[in-house]
Structure 1
Amino acid sequence: MRLIIVSGRSGSGKSTALDVLEDNDFYCIDNLPALLLPQLAERTLLSAELLHPLVAVSIDARNMPNQLAQFPALLQTVRERNIDCQILYLDADDKTLLKRFSETRRRHPLTNDTRSLAEAIEDENTVLEPIASLADVSIDTSELNLYQLRDTIKLQLLERPEPTTAFLVESFGFKRGIPIDADLVFDVRCLPNPYWKPDLRPLSGLDQAIKDYLSGQHDAEEMYQDIYTYLSKWLPRIAASNRAYVTIAIGCTGGRHRSVYLAQRLSEALSAELNNVQVRHRDLKLEGQ
């Protein structure tokens, strides 16, 4: 069993940390009462459904102060069970935390009629000291944006970077509608249509005769170059923003000739530059496929 305890002052990024851990197969519990930590660990160890359980819990200032004061003893009880237990403590400077609360307009858990936000942020240091002093990994999030924080947690706690983005290049026909999951849509209906060539009509953009026809069309070549140049430049930057999936949809009228030709050609070219590029022809129905 591996147990990660996430703590830190309010507004430091604990919710983001739990999201990262949940995305990496951890069972996550937010705002666990500290006194329940040993019971949670014990029950998880006894669970027959989890052979190698991964559990993450958030314990922070929303707990009662007297429970937080007992945290060192509670942690010792857990570790005596030979559980791989780590504490991740997140924090930021007072000015940054004050700004974050002002922007979100959320209530700080320690504010009341007699304690201001600034006082609550300062007092939280004292309340969480029993956890902060035992932290295995401490991260100052003052200068980190959301994506940088996610990457930092992965590298320091999980020892692996963000998974690579999956790119899907998809052909489609406008007469059946634009794919609902499309992030980028390119309309290629202005190109010469092989459908009006009786000998090419039964074929698809995967057939050599269609490839030869469209590659000989100036507009088709210019369209390919423009789309490829755009995707080659911007897809790596989109991936850098921690997108898990990106769908590039190429559409013609029926989704059989022009869009298939361009989607196939673009996916092959992009595969030489990017990891995990796939191609799909949504409306192409060939015998045997």
Structure 2
Amino acid sequence: MTDDGTRQEVLVVTGMSGAGRSTVGNALEDLGWYVVDNLPPQMLKPLVELASRAGDAIPKIAAVIDVRGGRLFSELGAVIEELRTTASVQVVFLEATDDALVRRFEQVRRPHPLQGDGDTILDGIVAERARMLQIRESSDVIIDTSDLNIHQLATEIQETFAEAGAPGLQVTVMSFGFKYGVPTDADLVADMRFLPNPFWVPDLRPMTGKDARVSDYVLAQEGATEFFDNYVRALEPVLAGYQRENKRHATIAFGCTGGKHRSVAMAEKLAERIRNLPGVAVSTKHRDLGRE
């Protein structure tokens, strides 16, 4: 139990080696889970107790546990049953056909964890299936990844474990000044230097694009509204595509000479416009605002 009396949420991710545990761990981390990989089963209970004392700091734990734990893995079932008395525990088991698993191990050119000297990859898979049988039968969710690529698997995890109403894409709308360099983390960059610079208007020079007078001035210039409306229309299928491809974060950058007027005004306007798009959460960042 947590300090406020609610049950700690715990997700145990296990299953066949090569079935996509790393992909699932990454997808859960994007959804806000605290993910621990290759955790010995005996460490799960102390971790849950620590998280319970931490309260909101670690609300959801996802532990990736598999046969790499060796003999320790055999105690996983007992550990899970004990945890269910105090925490909300779900077990996700990742499955795949022998052919799919063999193909994946051959592609990465790594041996199976249970593949002994002189054994084949398939020998290791057979041994792992036998060791995993009891956990598989008691799992809450079984996902067959045989015909899924990493994007499709991540999508399935997001659809299964995302909180209702949670955004699928975090968008940062950024302004910057070209004279300070183009941001290296921008996914899309738009150049606002085709518009007249408010810097050369004495009354507007000390203001920024966050001021209504500057914003009105920028958007009133020839081509500004046309550019903005067309840019938004072009962005809508891009942002929808990002969500389909499980891209969780995107940065859209607007640049002008100094990053104070035109780029700021456009960034603020775009953030306001796309904030209501489905599955999108928006924040703004004005990288060079305040520089001389």
TM-score range, shorter chain: 0.7 to 0.9
- Partner in structure 1 of residue 239 of structure 2: 235
Does the alignment pair 1:28 with 2:33? no
Structure 1 pair 205–45 and aligned structure 2 pair: CA distance change class (3 A) = closer
How do residues 154-173 of structure 1 correspond to structure 2 at under 5 angstroms?
A: 154-156=158-160, 160=164, 163-173=167-177
Query: In the TM superposition, what whole-angstrom CA distance separates every residue of 1:182-219 from its partner, at most 9, and x where no partner exists?
Result: 22211222332233344543444344554454444334
- Partner in structure 2 of residue 16 of structure 1: 23
Structure 1 pair 253–69 and aligned structure 2 pair: CA distance change class (3 A) = closer
Larger Rg: 1 or 2? Answer: 1
Give the C-alpha shift of residue 10 in structure 1.
Answer: 0.7
Does the alignment pair 1:277 with 2:282? yes
Structure 1 pair 193–139 and aligned structure 2 pair: CA distance change class (3 A) = same
Structure 1 pair 114–230 and aligned structure 2 pair: CA distance change class (3 A) = same
For the aligned residue pairs, the C-alpha RMSD in angstroms reads: 3.4
Pick the aligned partner of 2:141 from 137, 157, 181.
137
Pick the aligned partner of 1:108 from 108, 112, 137.
112
CA–CA distance in 2 between the matches of 1:205 and 1:45?
49
3-state secondary structure, aligned to 1:276: strand
- Partner in structure 1 of residue 128 of structure 2: 124
CA–CA distance in 2 between the matches of 1:191 and 1:78?
66
CA–CA distance in 2 between the matches of 1:130 and 1:13?
20
- Tell me the TM-score normalised to structure 2 length: 0.77
Give the C-alpha shift of residue 90 in structure 1.
Answer: 0.8
Pick the aligned partner of 1:174 from 175, 178, 181.
178
Q: Residue 178 of structure 1 aligns to which amino acid in structure 2?
A: V
- Structure 1 unaligned spans of 5+: none
Conserved? CA contact 1:264–1:279, under 8 Å: yes
Structure 1 pair 145–162 and aligned structure 2 pair: CA distance change class (3 A) = farther
CA–CA distance in 1 between the matches of 2:219 and 2:52?
60
- Structure 2 unaligned spans of 5+: 1-7
- Partner in structure 1 of residue 68 of structure 2: 62
Q: Residue 36 of structure 2 aligns to which amino acid in structure 1?
A: C
- Tell me the TM-score normalised to structure 1 length: 0.78
Give the C-alpha shift of residue 113 in structure 1.
Answer: 3.0
- Partner in structure 1 of residue 82 of structure 2: 78
